[in-house]
């Protein structure tokens, strides 16, 4: 049997499926959860405490989806996939998303730090592949800020900003700024990896094999022009 706390949380989530948090009354929550009004204050302190708890649940689901994003051999493509899954979550859960990313009052969902950490790890994969033009911390903050901004505009003004093309344009601009244009920077990225490998070999930290070194060196050579017939 569910507890009063669980029923209150479930009722609030159900009401958030159709309306904004500010439009939900504590009376409506209590009626749906079949509890008396004082129960909210006993369990959560006040309505704001309840909403923070619901936002934390939302973040648990959001982060679980983030962890399920597949990792491929292309970390920049994985960043784009993570962006798209973020937008998809927001569009599926508009009122919950607003509650998560525009909290009011002093209590803030602490899970935002884990969201940052997951994104930072994704950005660090780009750095390790030689495809990052700024610090991982700045890149992660920039990408998350832009991602949330796109979602908020799409939710607030869907007739103007909800198009997939807008999200993709901002995504590619922000991630492109952080990682560089792949078509232009392929050899720059390879050079960075080569430099890291050589440093590892010289210091003994992570020696690079002769075969790997030969492959990296050949990757830096300009493509051979095809002779005209």
> What is the reported pLDDT for 90?
96
What is the reported pLDDT for 109? Answer: 76
| Alpha-carbon gap, residue 93 to 210, rounded angstroms | 52
| Alpha-carbon span 162 to 140, nearest angstrom | 23
What does the pLDDT look like over 153-194, one tens digit per residue?
999 999 988 889 999 999 999 999 999 864 444 444 454 455
- Tens of pLDDT, residue by residue over 92-103, are 999 999 999 987
Q: Is the pTM of this model over 0.85?
A: no
- Per-residue pLDDT, averaged over 80-104, amounts to 93
Model pLDDT for residues 131-153, shown as the tens digit of each residue: 999 999 999 999 999 999 999 99
Residues 6+ apart with CB under 8 A from 60: 111
Q: Which residues contact 101 (CB under 8 A, 6 or more apart)?
A: 112, 148, 151, 152
């Amino acid at each position: 049997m569910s507890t009063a706390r669980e029923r209150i949380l479930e009722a609030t989530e159900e009401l958030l499926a159709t309306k904004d948090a500010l439009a939900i009354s504590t009376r409506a929550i209590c009626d749906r959860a079949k509890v008396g009004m004082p129960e909210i204050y006993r369990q959560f302190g006040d309505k704001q405490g309840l909403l923070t708890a619901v936002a934390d649940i939302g973040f648990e689901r959001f982060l679980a989806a983030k962890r399920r994003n597949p990792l491929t051999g292309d970390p920049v493509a994985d960043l784009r996939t993570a962006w798209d899954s973020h937008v998809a979550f927001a569009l599926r859960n508009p009122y919950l998303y607003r509650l998560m990313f525009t909290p009011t009052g002093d209590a803030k969902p602490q899970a935002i730090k884990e969201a940052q950490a997951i994104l930072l790890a994704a950005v660090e994969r780009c750095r390790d592949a030689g495809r990052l033009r700024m610090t991982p911390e700045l890149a992660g903050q920039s990408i998350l800020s832009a991602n949330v901004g796109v979602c908020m505009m799409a939710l607030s003004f869907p007739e103007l900003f909800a198009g997939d093309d807008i999200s993709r344009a901002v995504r590619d601009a922000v991630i492109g700024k952080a990682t560089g244009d792949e078509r232009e920077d392929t050899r720059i990225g390879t050079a960075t990896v080569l430099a890291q490998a050589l440093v590892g070999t010289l210091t003994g930290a992570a020696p690079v094999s002769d075969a790997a070194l030969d492959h990296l060196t050949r990757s830096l050579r300009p493509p051979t022009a095809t002779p005209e017939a």
